[in-house]
Amino acid sequence: MHTKWWTALAVAAVVLPAQTASAAVSPVVSPVVSPVVSPVAFSVASPAAGLSPAAMTAPQHPGHGPARPVDRIREQLLRHDRKAGLLIVSHRGDWRGSAENSLPAVEGAVNLGADVVEIDVQRTKDGQLVLMHDTTVDRTTDGTGKVADLTLDQIKALKLRIGLGGAQARTTDLRVPTLEEALVAVKGRALVNLDKAWQYRDEAYAVLTRLGMLDHALFKSSAPIAEVEQFLAQDPGILYAHVVDDANAASVGAFTQHPPLAYEINFDRLTDPQIQPAAVETALRTSRVWANTMTYGYAAGYTDERSLIDPALGWATLAARHGVSMIQTDDPAALDAWREGHRDTVPAGSVRVQAEDYSLDGKDVGYHDLEDDNKGGTVARPYEGVDLCDQAGAIVVCWIRAGEWVKYTVDVQRPGTYEVRARVSTPYDPAGRVSLAWDGGAAGAPADIANTTSHNAFATQVLEPARRLDRGTHTFVLRTDPDAYQNFNIDYFELVRVR
């Protein structure tokens, strides 16, 4: 059994649509709740990493100096030794709490502790720079078409979809922001990282200089070094990070005139040349080392979800072993908590049950699955019928289908009334309907599973708002409605004592 060290802020605060159904419990997505934490430096040892506990201690937060936060962040960015404080880069802003690349997502990321907000830039038909990850507006808005074929007015008429978007994600009243609007939103507070903007670098530079905010933006690319240095030579105030992968691993340390402030090193294996100790040390002579932990493939197996289980499986090892001092994450709040030295536990009187820790009573007694094969393969309990998958590092019950059920045991230490939650993910709407049957009794009111916009976008949803439990051992069975569409993942269940 594993238990994530980070609870309340590890779950998404995505604002999800309430589902309507007679006699159904509407899925409630819990807001981010400040957990009870002890201000003790979090330090762990990982035999696999071969690191001492001291080596695994979270890097300290950048110190306080200049009056404006952005000046302090920029000052810290210039440090590139192994003692440099960790800088947090929030991927597409706080998309968990809003729509990706929206103004609330940009501002929310800063509020959650991000030093740098990564935003994606595209150019409209009439030459305006807007925030959009894809070359089309299809996934993230209620419209269709290429950004390059639409005017700014046409794009401003579109509504953004919540979270990571998708055809079944609900629309919001939010509009696609311009680069200028995003810059104004963070002025004085944080840096922005301009992704996908290299081909528009001259236009972006013009916007930044007109606003007097060149010192707020970090350009980046994997372009040939000569091309990069030509651009950097025009103004010593340009901030730049160089993206490195297998194809251009030799670029680390190859800049002659204008070394980047950071090397964003992408590696899918620890045998890749760009992440070898010699390459890292070369990078650290002039620059920070930046890693991406959003999902697998960017930093081998080091992911946000693995870090939530144990920082030694992700963030901590990147910092201690690989010299990383910039981490791009989809969970800036949890990363900031680790940086600050906090280790959260399950709130007092509350209980968590990992979804993979289901009953050992066997087929049709401890669970009922439509197929005997575990479709997750060898991830966990491979010879049993419940499907368990590795979802970006989270071990989840997956391939959930209508009519299936699974039983759990939970030890309650304090009698009281509990809110029963599940951390789930799904890109579908409707995604499922479930009910809980406690201690051999009848199933309670059904709860609809709401769209979280991606199988990788986990959110906490309420299954039962009030369940009275005595102290002792209890069982519950999660039952899926045999007549409802079912397609979602479950990471864990949590019983939060409310009174």
- DSSP symbols for 174-211: --PPBHHHHHHHHTTT-EEEEET-GGGHHHHHHHHHHH
Reduced to 3 states (helix: H, G, I; strand: E, B; else coil), residue 235 is: coil
Residue-wise pLDDT tens digits, 418-470? 999 999 999 999 999 999 999 999 999 999 999 999 999 999 999 999 999 99
Please choose, from the candidates 174, 121, 175, the residue with its C-alpha nearest in 3D space to the C-alpha of residue 148.
121
Residue-wise pLDDT tens digits, 189-235? 999 999 999 999 999 999 999 999 999 999 999 999 999 999 999 99
Residue with tokens 């299954």: 463
Q: Is 78 exposed, middle or buried (0-12, 13-18, 19+ CB in 10 A)?
A: exposed
Number of Cβ within 10 Å of residue 383's Cβ equals 8
Q: What confidence score (pLDDT) does residue 14 get?
A: 36
Mean pLDDT is lowest, of 22-36, 45-59, 290-304, for: 22-36
Tokens standing for residue 360: 């050992």
Q: If you ran DSSP here, which 8-state letter would residue 486 be given? A: -
Pair 162, 98: CB distance under 8 Å: yes
Q: Tell whether the model's pLDDT for residue 308 goes beyond 50.
A: yes
Domain definitions of the chain by residue range: 69-340, 351-497
Q: What confidence score (pLDDT) does residue 344 get?
A: 61
Long-range contacts (CB closer than 8 Å, 24 or more residues apart) made by 197-206: 197/120, 197/121, 197/129, 198/223, 200/121, 200/123, 200/129, 201/231, 203/123, 203/127, 203/129, 204/121, 204/129, 204/179, 205/235, 205/238
- The torsion angles phi and psi of 203, rounded to 5 degrees, stand at -65, -40
Q: How far apart are CA 67 and CA 84, in angstroms?
A: 20
Q: What confidence score (pLDDT) does residue 65 get?
A: 55
pTM of the full predicted structure?
0.88
Tokens standing for residue 260: 């980047």
Is 351-497 in CATH node 2.60.120.260?
yes
Half-sphere exposure of 494 (CA within 13 A, CB side): 27
Residue-wise pLDDT tens digits, 328-377? 999 999 999 999 998 766 777 789 999 999 999 999 999 999 999 999 99
Pair 104, 175: CB distance under 8 Å: no
Please choose, from the candidates 336, 353, 340, the residue with its C-alpha nearest in 3D space to the C-alpha of residue 475.
353
Mean pLDDT for the chain?
A: 90
pLDDT (average), residues 94-98: 97
Asked if residue 430 has a cis previous peptide bond (ω within 30° of 0), the answer is yes
Q: Is 465 exposed, middle or buried (0-12, 13-18, 19+ CB in 10 A)?
A: middle
Reduced to 3 states (helix: H, G, I; strand: E, B; else coil), residue 122 is: strand
Collect all residues with Cβ–Cβ distance below 8 Å to 241 and sequence separation of at least 6.
193, 218, 219, 220, 260, 261, 262, 263, 264, 290
- CATH number for region 69-340: 3.20.20.190
Q: Tell whether the model's pLDDT for residue 401 goes beyond 90.
A: yes
- Indicate the pairing of strand 447-449 with strand 454-469: unpaired
Tokens standing for residue 195: 């992704």
User: Residue 39 corresponds to which amino acid?
Assistant: P
Q: What percent of the chain has pLDDT over 70?
A: 86
Residue-wise pLDDT tens digits, 145-196? 999 999 999 999 999 999 999 999 999 999 999 999 999 999 999 999 999 9
